[in-house]
Structure 1
Amino acid sequence: MNRKINLLTFIFFCLLSCKQTSTQSTEPNAADGITVSAVSDDPLPSWKESTVKKDIIAYIDKVTKESRDFIPTESRIAVFDNDGTLWAEKPLVQELFAFYRVKKMVGADPELAQKQPFKAVLDKDKSYFEKGGEKALVELVAATHTGMTEDEFEAGAKDFFKAAKYPGKNVPLKQIRYQPQLELLDYLRAKGFKTFIVTGGTVELVRAVSEDYYGIPKEQVIGTSFKYKFNDAKDAIQRDPSLDHFNDKEGKPTAIQLHIGQRPVFACGNEGGAGDLAMLRFSQGSKYLSFQLIVNHNDSIREYNYQEKDNLSLKTAAKYKYHVISMKDDWEKVFADK
């Protein structure tokens, strides 16, 4: 699939996809924060005592002790997808942010409400984008995500995260993070791993909250990006409407190589769009003992139940012996409380 088709798929899915959700959970009731208690003997208390949990602990123990499988600290690289892996993705937070930006822009300039593509968004007119194709989609993304300095964008993103509530659950976005994954991130870091987010979403949006939400500094976030230029008059970085890198599927390993310079030994993605398989495969090629995880969204009561029509991610996991996290069977609780 070429970059043009990928871009269209990404934008259309983010901004106008139907909400393919099943029975939604009650409001989250998981443990507080992202830090695992230092006095707890269990590094993953929100995980059930399943084979997946035991294999994760056994792997981390094996590669961090002096043995033939020991991995030097500088090579302990762990990468995580974000949407559907660290937080819920039905709907995508990126989609919510785009709608938020349209409303903010129309509020500042009401005349935009009668202009496209703003009118189509406000009217929920998907046919406009279906008929307009790439031109209409790129126009919307350019209007809502570019044409400002990075400082201005980050300030707007932080305002969005402060106020936004997640549809269907009516909780702050911080409460759609997966508590078991927060514990896993902490556990890996406690054992000398450096944790990265490798997301298909725009890198600037995730960077706005990565430290607060996940304990991951913004320089350890890799994502879809637009081209930058330096604005001398403003002494600031400005983002152009041109796409620089689409960070999905095969784009993820190339971005990891560019930004990190080595294969990760631990990689976690999710089943739903097959966007993480190349990243997991890249990780499996490490010269060190590696570990791959795929989150399977099969809990219609506490989260959602959705799978790929062709089950490609689960088939690939079986073929290459990736570990599959059953949300229903492997997680004692799903969401963080705050």
Structure 2
Amino acid sequence: MRVFYHFEFSRRSLVAALAILVPVMVACPGAWAQTDPLPSWNDTTSKQAIVEFVQATTKEGSRTFVPPEERIATFDQDGTLWVEHPIYSQVVYCLERVPDLVKAKPELKDVEPFKTVMSRDREAIAKLPMHDLEKILAATLTGMTVDEFQGQVSKWIASARDPRWKRPYTDLTYQPMQEVLKFLRANGYRTYIVTGGGQDFVRVYAESTYGIPPEQVVGTIGSTTYSYDKDGNPILTKEPKLLLNDNDAGKPEGIHLMIGRRPVFAAGNSTGDQQMIEYTEAGEGPRFGMLILHDDAEREYAYGPANGLPDTKVGTFTQELYDEAMKNGWIVVSMKKDWKRIFSFEP
């Protein structure tokens, strides 16, 4: 049964109502206009492409409609969602864990590369070869229970500060990318982090920082061993045995292993993300590939070496990758041109 409600307004009550509503309408025009889902983006083709893709894939009845269960979006973390220069935050964590490690194992004090780290000689530390860094990572990321590791990372992430901005690393997420994550989720997409960083490391803060739960973090992962502590409680201990290197070709392998669906949307910033985007784009139907180009030395950092930017070993974006993106129609986001602001704490 249809019910009609009838209201009678006197002229005086109508005028009174308008007197209240008009100032609100003037002060809050967004209440009457459609809210911009990406307010930290400039009105460029990159922003337009993101908005149009989401609209096209979520409009029922359209040829480009993607069913909700297939709306998978994957994001690299370092350099895509937060700052990765001058060195990955997880490497900083490992270096800062060395003093505690040496305190627990004094015999390491005079053993390289721990001796160099304990010297606090930044130039010497920066010159450590990869095999020495791997020793440090193995020593600081394994040998403890999963719960102990989570506690150590939680404590560090709450207290550590980036040397340039003097802020927690979790403050250094890119506001424009946070908006993309929220925009996608608001339209039925599930967002995943697919990172070359440690899976257990990123899972500690992913939900509070990005709104991405730990089960939606895919990363480099080592093995664990099931056993019992002295009180008979079951525990998992982190072992120095690599199960998945979630970088380069490891990213699509990790996606298949951990997610089980090919992404529709993928974003990265370096050669380590190339295969993830290629894998995403190879699927049927609408696909979206995006790369972040760090070309704003004033507000963040500038590195490539694509487009003549300074070369780097951290987050390398080669000219070959740039050319492939242009050829395949991937979106290359210029931090300098496409983003109004980079961090949430900017005015």
Between the aligned residues of both structures, percent identity stands at 39
- Segments of structure 2 that go 5 or more residues without pairing to the other structure are 1-30, 306-310, 312-317
| Alignment partner of 1:286 is 2:294 | no
Residue of structure 2 equivalent to 1:95: 91
Q: 1:217 to 1:49 in 2, by over 3 A?
A: same
How is 1:53-92 mapped onto 2 (pairs within 5 angstroms)? 53-66=47-60, 67-90=62-85, 91-92=87-88
Displacement of 1:245: 1.0
| Alignment partner of 1:193 is 2:192 | no
| Alignment partner of 1:303 is 2:311 | no
Post-superposition Cα deviations, 1:28-47, rounded to whole Å, max 9, x if no partner, equal xxxxxxxxx9x971000001
Q: TM-score, normalised by structure 1?
A: 0.83
State the number of aligned residues: 296
Residue of structure 2 equivalent to 1:332: 340
Query: Partners of 2:139 and 2:300 in 1: how far apart?
Result: 33
Asked if 2 retains the 8 angstrom alpha-carbon contact of 1:100 and 1:160, the reply is no
Query: Partners of 1:129 and 1:304 in 2: how far apart?
Result: 23
Asked if 2 retains the 8 angstrom alpha-carbon contact of 1:263 and 1:285, the reply is no
| Alignment partner of 1:169 is 2:165 | yes
Displacement of 1:167: 1.8
Partner SS for 2:272: coil
Q: Answer 1 or 2: higher relative contact order, Cα 8 Å, separation at least 6.
A: 1
Give 1 or 2 for the bigger CA radius of gyration: 2
Partner SS for 1:275: helix
Amino acid paired to 2:258: H
Partner SS for 2:224: strand
Q: 1:332 to 1:138 in 2, by over 3 A?
A: closer
Displacement of 1:150: 0.5
Query: Partners of 2:141 and 2:181 in 1: how far apart?
Result: 29
- 1:216 corresponds to which of 212, 219, 223: 212
Amino acid paired to 2:48: K
Asked if 2 retains the 8 angstrom alpha-carbon contact of 1:295 and 1:324, the reply is yes
Amino acid paired to 2:291: I
Residue of structure 2 equivalent to 1:250: 249
How is 1:86-165 mapped onto 2 (pairs within 5 angstroms)? 86-90=81-85, 91-108=87-104, 112-123=108-119, 124=121, 125-126=124-125, 129-130=128-129, 134=131, 136-165=132-161
CA RMSD across the alignment? 2.0
Query: Partners of 1:160 and 1:196 in 2: how far apart?
Result: 23
- Segments of structure 1 that go 5 or more residues without pairing to the other structure are 1-36
Asked if 1 retains the 8 angstrom alpha-carbon contact of 2:91 and 2:137, the reply is no
Residue of structure 1 equivalent to 2:6: none
